[in-house]
């Protein structure tokens, strides 16, 4: 019995060592294997409760890619998951935990809508005015989201506050505050639902490829452009190197002349700026107004799993976001076209999230706790 704790520790060390030394291709293989295993277990559960697993699997594929409408709906979710995933990946890669992407996207989204509505009367109503308003809305969303992200960053850097706790608390503050505003002073008198006023008719991404009114290829291209910019900054610039060093090795960063505390705040600010863009794209591309935050989806929370599946690599976020976009798109199709209860569908999606996130989460914990043997 006395050897059991040591044996367990050696087992964890071997597993952590294997995860920490895994190549990029091996980590991709682990992610694909985890996803496949989670889906297979989900199909077994579907069969166990009396439904046809093959029909369920077919509906999942058809719901995600079976038609132009389904594919555009998948890309719509993917666009939002890409931006949200990159927001979280920026912080995770720099050694800071930003669990507050949901709150930052809410602040960014409502700020975007308000800025556009307030400035619109002073600009032309044509296409030129629309482009100016969209750019204005994106900038305002990035700034306000960044400021909302900087707050927990400053609390962590200068007062030692745990960023996980503060970002979670700020999520609830954003949900409550914006929820009250859109149901109170920002709600038009003639609105039957809880929402702000509509954006002007000339504000919206053009429909260039798909006819889905809630998706534009421009939104997807914007998200991919953000991926490229963030990836270059993180891997090809001294600024990105300082961000990573400050988060993982603060003493070393300070010794080499980097203002590590200020860099932690900067990291959270950049992460919040990208999260703010999620809210802006959601308002401009999908809704055309802003609603009660409790009804806009959990993009900021699901982005944690997207980032973990992508190994916190901004480029890896793209295929990870496509997987989550497909799951979200197909779940609504299966719910409508089959007798499978929505709770079971959500449970299977959650199973996939758990399986794909667990290996990378274990890898991050091993890095932080020193698992992996004496040479770690």
pLDDT band at 248 (very low <50, low <70, confident <90, very high): low
- Give the pLDDT of residue 252: 73
Give percent above pLDDT 90 in the chain. Answer: 41
pTM for the model: 0.87
Give percent above pLDDT 70 in the chain. Answer: 87
pLDDT in tens, 275-285: 999 999 999 99
Residue 252 CA to its chain's centroid (Å) = 30
- Give the pLDDT of residue 376: 47
d(CA 297, CA 293): 8
d(CA 373, CA 376): 6
pLDDT in tens, 65-101: 888 889 999 999 999 999 999 999 999 888 888 899 9
pLDDT in tens, 115-166: 999 999 998 888 899 999 999 999 999 999 999 999 999 999 899 888 889 9
Average pLDDT for residues 333-346, to the nearest whole number? 74
- Give the pLDDT of residue 56: 83
Average pLDDT for residues 294-312, to the nearest whole number? 85
- What does the H/E/C string look like for 90-117? HHHHCCCCCCCHHHHHHHHHHHHHHHHH
pLDDT band at 329 (very low <50, low <70, confident <90, very high): confident
Mean pLDDT of the chain: 85
- Length of the chain in terms of residues written: 376
Range with the lowest mean pLDDT among 207-211, 219-223, 233-237, 252-256?
A: 252-256
- Give the pLDDT of residue 2: 47
């Amino acid at each position: 019995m006395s050897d059991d704790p040591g044996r367990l520790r050696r087992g964890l060390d071997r597993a952590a060592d294997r995860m920490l030394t895994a190549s990029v291709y091996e980590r991709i293989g682990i992610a694909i294997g985890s996803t496949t295993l989670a889906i297979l277990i989900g199909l077994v559960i579907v069969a166990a409760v009396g439904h046809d697993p093959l029909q369920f699997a077919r509906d999942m594929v058809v719901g995600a890619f079976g038609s132009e409408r389904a594919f555009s709906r998948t890309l719509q979710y993917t666009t939002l998951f890409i931006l949200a995933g990159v927001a979280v990946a920026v912080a995770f890669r720099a050694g800071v935990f930003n669990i507050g992407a949901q709150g930052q996207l809410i602040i960014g989204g409502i700020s975007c809508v308000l800025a556009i509505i307030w400035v619109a009367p002073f600009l032309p109503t044509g296409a030129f005015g629309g482009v100016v308003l969209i750019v204005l809305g994106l900038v305002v969303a990035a700034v306000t989201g960044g400021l909302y992200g900087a707050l927990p960053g400053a609390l962590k850097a200068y007062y030692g506050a745990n960023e996980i706790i503060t970002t979670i608390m700020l999520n609830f503050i954003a949900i409550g505050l914006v929820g009250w505003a859109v149901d109170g002073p920002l709600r038009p008198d003639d609105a039957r639902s809880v929402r702000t006023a509509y954006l002007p008719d000339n504000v919206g991404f053009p429909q260039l490829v798909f006819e889905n009114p809630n998706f534009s290829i421009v939104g997807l291209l914007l998200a991919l452009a953000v991926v490229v910019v963030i990836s270059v900054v993180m891997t090809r610039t001294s600024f990105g190197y300082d961000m990573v060093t400050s988060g993982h090795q603060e003493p070393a960063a300070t010794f080499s002349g980097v203002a590590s505390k200020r860099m932690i705040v900067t990291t959270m600010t950049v992460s919040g700026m990208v999260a703010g863009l999620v809210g802006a794209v959601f308002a401009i591309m999908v809704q055309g107004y802003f609603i009660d935050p409790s009804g806009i989806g959990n993009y900021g929370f699901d982005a944690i799993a997207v980032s973990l599946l992508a190994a916190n690599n901004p480029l890896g976020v793209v295929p990870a976001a496509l997987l989550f976009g497909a799951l979200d798109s197909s779940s609504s199709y299966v719910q409508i076209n089959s007798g499978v209860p929505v709770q079971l569908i959500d449970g299977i999606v959650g199973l996939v999230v758990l399986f794909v996130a667990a290996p990378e989460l274990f890898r991050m914990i091993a890095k932080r706790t020193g698992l992996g043997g004496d040479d770690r």
